[in-house]
Chains A and B, each alone.
Chain A
């Protein structure tokens, strides 16, 4: 197992490097550059001013030189400097990381737990009214655009019912500490986390349900029943454990996105996370910030793919890891 993990990590480094180079060219292929965007926002385009900005940002260098400088830094885990915000990219990302992890992490756990439970419940009595309700809801959540759900949730729970704050990470200027602060953040977290979680919850539910039904028709389940095992035990130990593999594959994918944030949800709910940082950086062509977020996200996806593979082994002993 150790050899397998080591081998994968070595490969990951090369994949990461390839992703970096690819991203670098991708971003530079987009029209416009940060200097033009900044001058544009100032509504002035004195050519000497633009030239001064480009020189300050190092954009007057040939592309391969810029790439070399970036790769050299990235290899040493130096993500460079935000041209626009005049701050180290690592610092910018670190600032946004707690909020993002809280949002995507909670959404991940919520959607996985409730999705699997709902899937198991629905599959237990296929065709019953309970199954119909759960399946219909899941289809609805799966098909509704996220931004619409987000806006409606804000409208209903924040504007009409006034139960929950509609945006932000905390009550600004309230100066809460300790438990009061935790409760305040929790209240702010409910709408964005459940909005973000709904879509994945629907996927997990559908996947769990389908997979459970499929496994429950297999011979070994019949055997278990014939042995006289209790229905509950068969469900949990025989069916669910086998049915979880596809769910884990998906969970691994979602987990990889945890560090990338959630652009739509963060934007609608003014959640100060990484998704927004990246989206704004793309609009502003703040190259180093975009590359920095991509770099970290890519690393996380690779890491979680590896973890997923290891989890397979734990859940299903038939699977062997070979480097």
Chain B
């Protein structure tokens, strides 16, 4: 009964081609950028809080050593150049000279060492794990930093972005209680914009960093991040001209076509290459009959993901082929087939141990789209003869249920962080399956072969060797269907066409608006 709405996808493809073509005019200085932020970030101290909204706003303040293009290749930012030793164990970074923090203090190698080795190791949600690969750090002079790794670590060059490795001013934090340092309320970094004011519940105001080290940047004078809690009101805010940029996910998907058809409106799905949000449903492998691979395969083939993409996601995003997103390195194309095939699904189900049990579907409480998606999945299941029911929850309840493994199948989506060793292995490694976290191997997938390969691939120095290992891993995991992979999500950024360059890197709007300029009409 579902019919894909294909013309929407075609129309969108045409729109998407637009903004990337026209970027050759001479930048103009001045103006105010108005951006929606949702939800309101709890704090702007990026070293302590790494959720989406914090990163989006604080990406203007904090910077790291590099920036990454759409193919995830690193480029110089606070580091001017770098060398990697032959054995892949020593990384030397040469820092840019003449960089200062917003309070005028020079940025030096001591700040890098303090940030990585002390602050982030303790406070950051992921850096603690990454830094376990680092044996020691050295700062031979003010502008050189050397990392000695215990063994090669393939993704190492990919962690120097603001959300993962923000550079924290040592002079403000050293020896203090990091979590309760009053400086957290007036964040100071090296970035293109400076913190001015935050009226809670209303807006966050940044002003141009006049002393920014990149010549002529940034172009705009100030940025307002508007806190608007209701999705429909956010669409109204754009329609009435109060805001000019709607970052991905700001408005409900069903409002996207209406808004993007407005005059002077551009849309791009670029800027998510590093995070590459991949959605799937966890399958609780400890629950019968979900331990039967035939049941899981039947469920997988029952899912009409093309419909979900076209009807619920406006044709944005890609149908996932397995655990590794196609925009990241090491994606393998020809993995076992998991496409929509209800006939095959029925046949597999008939051969399986499924006996009419009701499958509990835990939806993701992130708004209308996800709710409708759960309903679509329920219908897909029913079409091949699987009984199911949707379990409602709020965000905290969802966290708890997934952490306690209290579900049969559960929607989720996770970031890939550009490398399977950072974003993928954590959800499939057998020793990372303890209950208590909703972000580890929740399904409790146990496969010693892939565990071993994941371990080996992370520390291989050679890129091609890694690629081969990850190909093997993907083949094995897809054949087992421990999770039901859904879509590589598309979160389009919608903006006025006279706002130029809102998305320049693999981090999109999260990466600071240093290159943005506003064309005067």
Contact = CB atoms under 8 A, between A and B. Distances in A.
A80 to B, nearest CB: 14
Interface stretch (A7-15, A65-73, A207-215, A279-287): A279-287
Given A47-B436, A52-B122, A270-B237, 9 more contacts: A30-B397, A40-B399, A42-B125, A43-B51, A45-B439, A86-B184, A95-B201, A167-B233, A266-B229
Contacts of A276: 201, 229
Closest 10 CB pairs of A and B: A32-B396, A272-B201, A45-B437, A41-B51, A31-B400, A45-B439, A44-B125, A32-B400, A42-B50, A42-B125
B201 A166 contact: no
Contact of A36 (B229, B240, B403): B403
A267 B232 CA distance: 10
Main secondary structure of the interface of B (DSSP, over half): mixed
A272 B436 contact: no
A45 B396 CA distance: 14
Given A31-B400, A85-B43, A270-B233, A40 B394 contact: no
A270 B228 contact: yes
Contacts of A33: 396
A46 B233 contact: no
Given A41-B52, A173-B32, A49 B125 contact: yes
A162 B201 contact: no
Interface string B452-471: 00000000000000000000
Contacts of A267: 229-230, 233
Contacts of B398: 32
B233 A272 contact: no
Interface in B4-50: 32, 34, 39-40, 42-43, 49-50
Interface in B396-424: 396-401, 403, 414-415
B128 A48 contact: yes
Interface string B171-209: 000000001100011000000000000011111010000
A166 B240 contact: yes
A84 interface: yes
Interface string B211-255: 000000000001010111110110011011010000000000000
Interface residues of B, number: 57
Contacts of A273: 201
Chain B CB within 10 Å — which of A36, A52, A283, A285 has the most? A36
A39 to B, nearest CB: 6
B129 interface: yes
Contacts of A40: 395, 399, 438-439
7 contacts: A38-B42, A42-B125, A45-B438, A50-B436, A165-B240, A167-B228, A273-B201
Contacts of B51: 38, 41-43
A169 interface: yes
B286 interface: no
Interface in A62-97: 84-87, 92, 95-96
Contact of B42 (A32, A84, A166): A84
B437 A166 contact: no
B440 interface: yes
Interface string A273-297: 1001100100111000000000000
Interface of B: 32, 34, 39-40, 42-43, 49-52, 122, 125-126, 128-129, 179-180, 184-185, 199-203, 205, 222, 224, 226-230, 232-233, 236-237, 239-240, 242, 393-401, 403, 414-415, 434, 436-440
A159 interface: yes
A130 interface: no
A269 interface: yes
Contacts of B122: 52
A283 B39 CA distance: 11
B126 A47 contact: no
A270 B227 contact: yes
Contacts of B436: 45, 47, 50
B375 to A, nearest CB: 22
Given A159-B236, A167-B236, A280-B229, A32 B397 contact: yes
B437 A50 contact: yes
Contact of B242 (A38, A85, A167): A167
B415 A96 contact: no
A154 B239 CA distance: 11
Given A49-B128, A159-B236, A159-B239, A36 B396 contact: yes
Contacts of A56: 179
A26 B22 CA distance: 56
Contacts of A314: none
A37 B229 contact: no
Given A95-B200, A169-B202, A46 B126 contact: yes
